[in-house]
Structure 1
């Protein structure tokens, strides 16, 4: 047998990060059933939208038996359990909207939720890793991975727009996969000084960033802005930096003091963190601190991948040291596509949050026929914030503007996208 290549240990690969060549960060083939012992959880979690609507969810959860998490053995079992417990928790906290929030999560939900969260290295709140990465199934197992063939495992109040929001986000994750696969090629190419390999891999990253933007455009077709803003958004909100729950939430049987956790946020997706680290995008001060904190809401292996990409020799420095026009162009195109994606995301947030927020303020000011408009029921406290707790437009524009700084100096201003 041939001796192993002495360089093989130095090569960077995705093998140890819970990332697959086909699906990237998406959990492959999520389970749909837990062991029978956990049926009481599944029975309630699958009915969260209707039980919230009838104001009965808190009652059903309060009556639920306290189950041990010890019979959950495999990773996919733990992920399904975390998803089910997360959906129940969001429904429980926000069943009555912003005006009748709870101070305590009952021990029969809080204790197993905490245990499962500790085992997975995730916080006890609904995260992107739950609602998007582990919350899907194909209607036809042999069929395509597209909007027509995808279904949610669990939903939240908001009807078809909930499915649209999570499934489109899932397709954005899928669009990134070829780019993710090429990150090790870039890193190893830099180490070997192979400019052609690096440039070709950056072309693939560039195409993925374009495909992610194109996937995000599906939001317009599948999510109704007034439903997202007026109904869905509160169920994605957390109890950190949220005026509705200023002290956080007590997890009964876990800790006597309230704990604070951020709600779901696009910043909890590992994708842009990986591409930022690869391309040398630096986020300063407040926005950087928020992005770094959001890494605590990712599966530990994904968090580790971002960290390990950041510790590799600088791609940008490598590009600047090479006399390769092809390599320079490939790098510039990547940063430009990342800028365009962030600019489009600002556009989406404006359509789904800023515009409905203005409409809601107008309606509240007029105080007439309030019930006629869904968005009038939206929580006033969230008007200027993302569900993760950030001041949303300021944050997104700062992050977008800091992406520009990654461009190489000779990039002409005319080619920079702007919103």
Structure 2
């Protein structure tokens, strides 16, 4: 947007990108009800875990009326509709596991889902913007924004671990909000040649990234790895780069040919994309292509913010010209905190994917019964792959290494 590229730093407004200083990329105060006309959608969406468990979700969806999306007028109505239809779609596709997928989404679900997706600029599949950013409410509206006072609007199978997974991720996003709010201060300081102002803003961003890491540590408290790997993960998986659905999914009444979309992924969070663009961190071709594709799974305004940040004067070049000790230390600290976050994320993925995957292979080799535990029932085709379709550990380690190479060879020892 033109306002982001002007030489008047004050005009770089987060409001133009539907981003708030308090909530960052989180949708403030999501609706929890749609107009009564859409009650058939909500009746199914609010019962997804039990309907999937009873193997009745597909039958219920097939009986739903074909509803028009025209009565959804407000942005928050569209976001709740997209969340509900996304969750229902994931349950519909994966109800019978990896061996019982469907080739076609019925038109009474596919057509309105496509219409809502087009109006929002989101793909017709569950995204980070749905499951995390728009899927929360406070139990006590006046109470704190914490695990004890939050609950999901719509759930997938997996019990308390589902709630823990989405809400911890939400709190990571909330912890990153002050960093996003500091970005205009960085841009303004660079445009005015104020090294001290840029340094202070970067110090605030560093603290915010540290808070994100601390929030992510709650994942091991609220999510059971065997439940995430064995039950939840398949419902987050898409139909692109997925051996279970190599052709994709036909959206009946929309396209005659199958369409392919990636499943939900942390790479769909706008936070780290913003940090990379601000700090000038570039990722190698394969990783860069995947990350670039993940931007198409973000709300368009958030994607524009990332693109406009990439058009700003390079921050590292500004720091070199200024040759200011405080600024250089702040820049290195910021990169070090981002590196630490990515390293801890690798630790989490190892705990929730790699270790259970090894356990699943061991159980299969021992020919243990499928009822052994949740891990043994996990889809074999998804081992060591992220729900977005990437080879998850290879991808994350490469992204971490690119972060390290961009900044820390010169002053890494000082930062440590």
**TM-score class, shorter:** over 0.9
TM-score (norm 2): 0.97
Partner of 1:185: 185
Aligned-residue offset at 1:78: 0.2
Aligned-residue offset at 1:384: 1.9
Aligned-residue offset at 1:10: 6.5
Provide the secondary structure at the position in 2 that maps to 1:246: coil
Asked if 1:217 is matched to 2:224, the reply is: no
Partner of 1:66: 66
TM-score (norm 1): 0.96
* Whole-angstrom distance in 1 between the partners of 2:156 and 2:176: 26
Asked if 1:290 is matched to 2:290, the reply is: yes
1:182-205 CA distance string (max 9 Å, x none): 001001100110001000000000
* Whole-angstrom distance in 2 between the partners of 1:286 and 1:82: 30
Provide the secondary structure at the position in 2 that maps to 1:261: coil
* Whole-angstrom distance in 2 between the partners of 1:255 and 1:322: 55
Alignment of 1:3-402 (within 5 A): 8=8, 11-402=11-402
Provide the secondary structure at the position in 1 that maps to 2:357: helix
Aligned-residue offset at 1:370: 3.0
Could you tell me whether the CA contact under 8 Å between 2:335 and 2:408 is conserved in 1?
A: no
Q: Kindly tell me: are residues 305 and 236 of structure 1, through their superposed partners in 2, closer, same or farther at Cα, counting changes over 3 Å?
A: same
Calculate the aligned-residue CA RMSD, in Å.
1.2
* Whole-angstrom distance in 1 between the partners of 2:185 and 2:294: 27
* Whole-angstrom distance in 2 between the partners of 1:136 and 1:363: 37
Provide the secondary structure at the position in 2 that maps to 1:21: coil
Question: Which consecutive segments of 4 or more residues in structure 1 shift more than 6 A?
Answer: none
* Whole-angstrom distance in 2 between the partners of 1:412 and 1:337: 11
1:293-342 CA distance string (max 9 Å, x none): 00000000000000000100001110111121000000000000000000
Could you tell me whether the CA contact under 8 Å between 2:265 and 2:387 is conserved in 1?
A: yes
1:388-408 CA distance string (max 9 Å, x none): 000001000000000012216
Unaligned runs of 5+ in 2: 1-5
Give the aligned length. 411
Could you tell me whether the CA contact under 8 Å between 2:287 and 2:395 is conserved in 1?
A: yes
* Whole-angstrom distance in 2 between the partners of 1:401 and 1:323: 26
Aligned-residue offset at 1:39: 0.2
Provide the secondary structure at the position in 1 that maps to 2:151: strand
* Whole-angstrom distance in 2 between the partners of 1:9 and 1:203: 19
1:162-209 CA distance string (max 9 Å, x none): 000000000000000111000010011001100010000000000001
* Whole-angstrom distance in 1 between the partners of 2:261 and 2:136: 24
1:342-382 CA distance string (max 9 Å, x none): 00000000000000000000001111233121100000000
Aligned-residue offset at 1:415: 4.8
Aligned-residue offset at 1:257: 0.2
